[in-house]
Structure 1
Amino acid sequence: MTRYPITVAASVLALALVVSPSANVQAAELRLLAGGAMSAVWADIKPQFEQASGHKLEIFLGTTPNLIKEATSGKPFDVGVVPVEVMQDASARAKFVASPTIDIAHVGLGVAVQSGAQKPEIGNADALKATLLKAQSIASIPESATGYSIAKVFDRLGITEPMKAKMKAQPNPAQVVAVVAKGEVELGIFLINVLTAPGLEVVGPFPAELQQNVVFTAAIGSETKETTAAKDLIEYLKSPAAVAIIKSKGMNPG
């Protein structure tokens, strides 16, 4: 995905949004489609953006298949901050403006266990492979951008088939955390920012030679009637205030 540096005008707009809610002449209600792994980010950004801009956000959080379904459902939306895999679906991409998308955040894969459990070795490709083959059960979301990235790692390690019986598919990131925290599933494999949660201990990120980053990218809905407000939101996500929140939640900006 194409990344653009913030122009001077965009920087001024972002600062105006942070400093003064009156920067926008008319407030809007925006419906946002967003990747579920960014839920903690949106929990902090939403009230700050609303206070700074006067706009209101209604957020639909979902996995990649759910976001594609929602984007193509005919239900109106104004802007998306979604995994790039959503944009790789032609039917979903057609529901956004044709201009290049703008990357907002990215984060890599990690492994976690229940708090207090022994941490397995995952420091290199061979160690991670041995740990995965030894595990009795693994929680993740196979039908998601993260799941697709994990599948690529399994393929590179040559363990796609044995992993099928171990995978315990969960409906959303919160459930990945919950089943591992309760001890119902031995390992959680997901985006490392999601795994940094109460009840879990992060073993660490995937080895560098196997790491896969999931990128969340922004675009305006092709049928929105609130183009200016949608642009305001995307510019705000590039502001220092939003970047600080993204970093604080274990994600990398851009």
Structure 2
Amino acid sequence: MKGLLALAVILAGSARADELTVAVASNFTAPMQELARQFEARSGHKLKLSFGSSGKFFAQISHGAPYHAFFSADQAKPAKLVELELADASSRFTYAEGKLALWSRKPELVDAEGEVLKRGEFRKLALANPKLAPYGAAAVEVLQHLQLEEQTRAHWVHGENISQTYQFVASGNADLGMVALSQILENRKVAEGSAWIVPAQLYNPIRQDAVVLKRGANAPALREFWTYIQSAEAKEIIRAYGYSTPPQDGNGRDNADR
């Protein structure tokens, strides 16, 4: 009898478990994978994660792609989806603020001030496509602020998204590149090679918004996930990967500029 009761409990739990499809900007791959593991372990629900460029996800969602939620690398695309009535306005919040780093696998190539860009001691500089990826747009802003846009342009190689940009540098196909700080951290330190953490004043804040899409509006599992992703535990995981998280007001809403 006890065995049958235990089986009934397991089957009941399985019946309540849902699978959510979530589109996630590629810069947020590692933290989202950890967040998903933690959420799945505690809830029994499953997250089917797709990683890629925010621009491509926006186009797919606009044409009816069946995602429940979207974690963008910027604020503009979730806001536009709300405007198009493809997402729930009340669900939108800033889940992270990204940071940019100039990185090379070579231990001595990138100095602490990023002077390597001025010296031009490199063949290829990897950037995410600024038309598709917010981190690519931020990288171009940095070069403009340093008055190095034209000087370095002939050396640019574009990744479709920030993950491909990172791979260009990691594989040695580019000497250095502008990547997300989160991609090169391990235990809150740069894992290998050399890096310059780009000062925040050289580019506009990379505030990253998430939004519930129409398909997920009535999904109880997604409401659970939305509560978890804004919890103190989730924010600590996000910060461990080199992001900052915005403060919230008394109602739990973030105070980042929209």
TM range (shorter): 0.7 to 0.9
CA distance in 2, matches of 1:175, 1:196: 17
Does residue 228 of structure 1 match 2:196? no
CA distance in 2, matches of 1:217, 1:91: 12
Match of 1:207 in 2: 199
The structural deviation recorded for 1:89 is 4.1
Which of 208, 222, 235 lines up with 1:243 in the alignment?
Answer: 235
Match of 2:249 in 1: none
CA RMSD across the alignment: 2.9
Size of the alignment, in residue pairs? 229
Deviations 1:138-177 (A, max 9, x none): 1121230101112222233333333332111123434333
Q: Residue 64 of structure 1 contacts residue 85 of structure 1 at CA under 8 Å; is this kept in 2?
A: no
CA distance in 1, matches of 2:91, 2:37: 27
Which of 107, 111, 118 lines up with 1:130 in the alignment?
Answer: 118
Question: Which of these two proteins has the greater Rg computed from alpha carbons?
Answer: 2
Match of 1:80 in 2: 70
CA distance in 2, matches of 1:224, 1:59: 14
Identity %: 19
Letter in 1 for 2:197: P
Of 43-52 and 224-233, the range deviating more from structure 2: 224-233
Match of 1:151 in 2: 140
Where structure 2 has 5 or more consecutive residues not aligned to the other structure, the ranges are 1-11, 247-258
Q: Residue 29 of structure 1 contacts residue 58 of structure 1 at CA under 8 Å; is this kept in 2?
A: yes
Does residue 99 of structure 1 match 2:86? no
Change (3 A) 1:156 1:128: farther
Instruction: Determine helix, strand or coil for the equivalent of 1:152.
Output: helix
CA distance in 1, matches of 2:51, 2:142: 26
Where structure 1 has 5 or more consecutive residues not aligned to the other structure, the ranges are 1-21
**TM-score, with normalisation over the residues of structure 1?**
0.77
Instruction: Determine helix, strand or coil for the equivalent of 1:252.
Output: coil
The structural deviation recorded for 1:137 is 1.4
Does residue 219 of structure 1 match 2:211? yes
Instruction: Determine helix, strand or coil for the equivalent of 1:150.
Output: helix
